[in-house]
Amino acid sequence: MLTKRIIPCLDVKEGRVVKGVQFVSLREAGDPVELAKFYNEQGADELVFLDISASHEGRETMVDVVRQTASTLAIPFTVGGGIRTLEDMKRLLRAGADKVSVNSSALQRPELIKEGSDYFGAQCIVVAIDAKWSEEDGTWMVYTHGGRNKTDWQAVAWAKEAVRLGAGELLVTSMDQDGEKSGFDLPLTKAIREAVNVPIIASGGAGNADHFYDVLQHVDADAALAASIFHYKETSVAEVKNELRQKGVFVR
């Protein structure tokens, strides 16, 4: 049986880690290099680094910060934000990333997923999906540019298309639950889990170890990602893993 993964996320803006609620009201949480080192020592299974303002500001991900962060890690490291071309992917993978995450650019030019998957292998390509429930549409809709722009894509349909194009993994963030600490969006995660056959990382809403259990066990997400509860020491990766083990969940 595959072990479930616990993944801290570093949302980076202007070289500092930040965290907000529903993608707004950002507050600082520290230095990305120091936090990466801390999580590596704590037993995190992977780390996700998202340059959250790169796409909105139309610039490249901070390669130097990526290089410094990668130098402290012995665990897989995914980097996203502002990746628009195959050359951008090459630059980040050379700087030490193990995987690249694409979001806004993939929605604007879906062939980017195929180009990356064909060149590096599907295991290197993570498609991030920022989804928000729409009463008007009666389903979850996909947003780009850090949650600023609503697209015409339904989340489940886009998940299927991303996998068809070569995504090896999906990072599914509930904008409704982001930073709320009231639990992951189980219906959203379940709908996408049932639609695709690649690993899914659930994101948005973690408040305690029970929330990780619910999304990993009840809707069979492959990994669960969190930020603020780890950054602000409300709990630790080790504590979450211990509780999951006690409940019979296979974690590393």
Of the candidates 135, 121, 210, 133, which has an alpha carbon nearest to the alpha carbon of residue 169? 121
Query: Of 11, 45, 51, 178, which residue is the catalytic one?
Result: 11
Give the rounded distance of the alpha carbon of 95 from its chain centre.
Answer: 19
11 an active-site residue?
yes
130 an active-site residue?
yes
Query: Of 130, 178, 185, 214, which residue is the catalytic one?
Result: 130
Give the rounded distance of the alpha carbon of 65 from its chain centre.
Answer: 18
- Rounded distance between C-alpha atoms, residue 194 and residue 191, angstroms: 5
What are the residue numbers of the active site?
11, 130
